[in-house]
Amino acid sequence: MSRLAAVLALSALPAALAIQLPNGIGKLPALGWNSWNAYGCNIDESKLLQAANAMVSMGFKDAGYEYVISDDCWSNLDGRDNYTHQLVANATKFPQGITGTSGKIHDLGFKFGIYSSAGTKTCGGYPASLGYEEVDAATFASWGVDYLKYDNCFPSEVWYDDCLSCEADPSFSPTGIVNGSCTPSTPPVNHYSFDKPIPICPPYKWPVDGNNYTAKYTALKFRIMQQALQAQNRTILYSLCEWGVDEPWTWGNTTGSSWRMSNDINPSWSRILQILNQNSFLTNYNNFWGHNDADMLEVGNGNLTAAETRTHFGLWALMKTPLLMGTDVTKLSAHDVGVLQNKRLLAFNQDAVVGGSAAPYKWGVNEDWTFNSTFPAQYWSGASSNGTMVAMFNPLNETMKMTALYSEIPELESDGCYAVTEAWNGTDLGCKEKSVEVEVEAHDTAVLLFEGKC
Ligand SMILES: *[C@@H]1O[C@H](CO)[C@@H](O)[C@H](O)[C@H]1NC(C)=O
Ligand SMILES: *[C@@H]1O[C@H](CO)[C@@H](O)[C@H](O)[C@H]1NC(C)=O
Ligand SMILES: *[C@@H]1O[C@H](CO)[C@@H](O)[C@H](O)[C@H]1NC(C)=O
Ligand SMILES: *[C@@H]1O[C@H](CO)[C@@H](O)[C@H](O)[C@H]1NC(C)=O
Ligand SMILES: *[C@@H]1O[C@H](CO)[C@@H](O)[C@H](O)[C@H]1NC(C)=O
Ligand SMILES: *[C@@H]1O[C@H](CO)[C@@H](O)[C@H](O)[C@H]1NC(C)=O
Ligand SMILES: *[C@@H]1O[C@H](CO)[C@@H](O)[C@H](O)[C@H]1NC(C)=O
Ligand SMILES: *[C@@H]1O[C@H](CO)[C@@H](O)[C@H](O)[C@H]1NC(C)=O
Ligand SMILES: *[C@@H]1O[C@H](CO)[C@@H](O)[C@H](O)[C@H]1NC(C)=O
Ligand SMILES: *[C@@H]1O[C@H](CO)[C@@H](O)[C@H](O)[C@H]1NC(C)=O
Ligand SMILES: *[C@@H]1O[C@H](CO)[C@@H](O)[C@H](O)[C@H]1NC(C)=O
């Protein structure tokens, strides 16, 4: 069997073989820190260690934050080792190589993550893993890597899913890249849009007609790296980053532990709302071992207000997205540290008994199921092992009264009486019957925990 045939045969296995790594790794959304939102390409070992040390001294480690991840730009720009074909860490940025850095991160009690791309180059233009999956997976394992963020920049032309026509040679070149002639659509079609409802159904022509994203090259590229990682004698959590273009929520669960479902976040209120709106339609795809990734946190960055920060973190936690900080931890305000370490929200995100995420039960200003990137769903609820969590989000520019009406909340009994705790401050609101009304300031989200009945 050719390698392509082998990969395609494997890809046809039933969904029952979802990725379940040993020791519960990847069962719950990852918690940690990633360099990108804080530093972009300008990284080095000292910045990673500064973050890790601050995470210890400021209580993040005790709160459950586990991974410290180097994003793009850690390697030499000019290429692989000519003899071993391995990626080479930039010696200025990582003087003792990645092994040196991962050792120090491990010594602080964290797991260590790294980045590559399913392309000829990473998004930053560094050497990437397409065609080198086996050597890279083995290299990462030998360096003590515990987590791989795998991006999708610079796919080689023959791997385009949006070829207008394509003739593939099923044999592999020495680099593992399929030879073939593709007539790509030029410019490549950007299937991604914040302004279109999901599912986005691009007019793919090849390799199959229709919208079976599991059968397409993008999913295949990500599966090739998954198999390379799985072949290593080291458990490496696999985080897919193809920006939601190819409906990764339909194949991500059989490929990795999480999948980005949208284009990149940035520290702006409008982008947070766009991603929130998009992910609000995908909550059914979340459960143990497989998570929608609404992208890394911007808490501490840009001009987000305290209220906006609570909405961002609170709804990311309730959507059970991985929670990866992306800021200079040492500069976080006391308010933002409190938000990021909120034990009720972290417990919901990390619930070992209930896997599903919260979901909207009512949109609010707009009709239910309205896809609107400035007015996402406002009323959310979700079960947890300690009770029902309800979040009410105010998109308006002024304070509004919002009511959690039990008859509308699927997890609550209409005439029930519940002990209610305000989740941000832990304020005990006492026993409440039928409904709870709260004032929610502009752009803020009230979060209430409904525990035992009264
Ligand atoms: C989609 O493609 C995959 C992989 O080729 C195949 O296993 C699956 O049956 C296809 N699904 C549908 C609905 O055709
Ligand atoms: C390594 O990083 C330094 C600092 O950013 C840079 O000046 C140098 O060009 C890089 N070397 C390689 C081989 O990419
Ligand atoms: C690999 O070989 C090429 C061509 O000889 C050379 O330009 C390049 O600098 C070498 N790269 C490394 C990392 O040694
Ligand atoms: C694929 O194309 C490359 C570059 O043209 C060539 O070197 C290689 O031999 C081809 N591989 C196969 C299997 O045809
Ligand atoms: C796999 O790793 C474990 C733990 O590091 C080690 O004890 C074992 O010998 C390794 N097995 C192989 C086949 O390398
Ligand atoms: C993903 O796979 C895991 C493990 O098989 C399963 O527990 C989970 O329910 C799946 N997620 C979804 C949304 O089907
Ligand atoms: C924050 O606000 C300042 C002043 O209005 C503006 O110059 C800056 O670009 C904003 N930063 C971000 C990240 O939006
Ligand atoms: C439930 O409450 C216990 C005790 O306070 C706490 O340790 C645990 O994290 C909570 N779990 C959830 C999912 O809220
Ligand atoms: C989004 O919803 C708001 C509130 O109903 C409305 O004013 C706005 O026009 C909607 N946007 C779009 C693009 O439909
Ligand atoms: C809130 O104010 C901003 C800035 O003035 C404006 O762009 C936005 O449309 C307003 N939103 C609502 C819901 O009124
Ligand atoms: C909880 O704390 C936030 C931020 O400190 C504050 O704005 C809010 O008024 C408090 N809410 C309640 C219900 O106490």
Give me the domain span that covers residue 381. Answer: 359-453
Within 10 angstroms of residue 7's Cβ, the number of other Cβ atoms is 16
Spatial separation of the C-alpha atoms in residues 411 and 238, rounded to whole Å: 33
Residue 403, domain member (yes or no) = yes
Cβ pair 198, 191 in contact under 8 A: no
Residue 136 pLDDT: 97
Using CA positions, which residue lies closest to atom 6 of ligand 8? Answer: 347
Residues 279 and 395 in one domain: no
Residue 6, domain member (yes or no) = no
Residues 252 and 195 in one domain: yes
- CATH number for the domain spanning 322: value is 3.20.20.70
Confidence of residue 218 (pLDDT cuts 50, 70, 90): confident
Residue 173 pLDDT: 32
DSSP string over 160-208: -TTEEEEEEEEEE-TTSPEEEEEEE-SSPP----TTSPSSP-----SSS
Pocket test for ligand 10, best of 305, 378, 397 (most atoms within 8 A of CB): 397
Residue 270, domain member (yes or no) = yes
Arithmetic mean of pLDDT, 233-248? 93
Overall domain count for the chain: 2
Spatial separation of the C-alpha atoms in residues 63 and 56, rounded to whole Å: 10
Residue 172, domain member (yes or no) = yes
Distance from residue 15's CA to the centre of ligand 1 (Å): 10
Respond yes or no: is residue 151 known to be catalytic. yes
Residue 174, domain member (yes or no) = yes
* pLDDT tens, residue by residue, 413-437: 999 999 999 999 999 999 999 999 9
Using CA positions, which residue lies closest to atom 12 of ligand 2? Answer: 76
pLDDT at 14 over 50: no
Spatial separation of the C-alpha atoms in residues 177 and 112, rounded to whole Å: 29
CA 252, 256, 257, 259 torsion-angle sign: negative
Residues 77 and 137 in one domain: yes
Of the three residues 331, 349, 367, the one that is the final residue of a domain is 349
Confidence of residue 200 (pLDDT cuts 50, 70, 90): very low
Name the residue type at position 220: L
Of the three residues 312, 331, 349, the one that is the final residue of a domain is 349
Q: Which two tokens stand for residue 138?
A: 């083995």
Confidence of residue 381 (pLDDT cuts 50, 70, 90): very high
Query: Percent of the chain scored above 90 by pLDDT?
Result: 78
Residues 88 and 172 in one domain: yes
- CATH number for the domain spanning 387: value is 2.60.40.1180
Arithmetic mean of pLDDT, 169-183? 39
Residues 124 and 179 in one domain: yes
Residues 227 and 320 in one domain: yes
Residues 305 and 368 in one domain: no
Q: Which one has a higher pLDDT value, 8 or 414?
A: 414
Residues 59 and 199 in one domain: yes
Distance from residue 244's CA to the centre of ligand 6 (Å): 18
Task: Count CA atoms closer than 13 A to 365's CA, side-chain side.
Answer: 14
Residues 306 and 266 in one domain: yes
DSSP string over 24-88: GTTTS--EEEESHHHHTT---HHHHHHHHHHHHHTTHHHHT--EEE--S--B-TT-S-TTT----
Respond yes or no: is residue 415 known to be catalytic. no
Arithmetic mean of pLDDT, 244-264? 92
Spatial separation of the C-alpha atoms in residues 309 and 336, rounded to whole Å: 7
Cβ pair 67, 33 in contact under 8 A: yes
When mean pLDDT is compared across 35-39, 113-117, 195-199, 330-334, the lowest value belongs to 195-199
Spatial separation of the C-alpha atoms in residues 247 and 225, rounded to whole Å: 18
Arithmetic mean of pLDDT, 101-110? 98
Pocket test for ligand 3, best of 75, 76, 77, 78 (most atoms within 8 A of CB): 78
Residue 15 pLDDT: 41
Residues 371 and 341 in one domain: no
Quick check: CB of 93 below 6 Å from ligand 2? yes
Q: Which of 151, 295, 336, 444 is an active site residue?
A: 151
Model pTM score: 0.87
Residues 93 and 187 in one domain: yes
Q: Which residues of 438-454 are buried (b: 16+ CB within 10 A; e: fewer)?
A: bebbebbbbbbbbeeee
Nearest bound ligand to the CA of residue 395: 10
Give the distance, in angstroms, between the CA of residue 280 and the centroid of all CA atoms in the same chain. Answer: 14
Q: Which two tokens stand for residue 67?
A: 């991974």
Which residues lie across from 151 on neighbouring strands? 117
Q: Is 316 exposed, middle or buried (0-12, 13-18, 19+ CB in 10 A)?
A: buried
* pLDDT tens, residue by residue, 348-377: 999 999 999 999 999 999 999 999 999 999
Confidence of residue 167 (pLDDT cuts 50, 70, 90): very low
Residues 345 and 372 in one domain: no
Computed over every residue of the chain, the mean pLDDT equals 87
Of the three residues 349, 380, 400, the one that is the final residue of a domain is 349
**Ligand 8: residues whose CB is within 6 Å?**
347-348, 351, 384-386
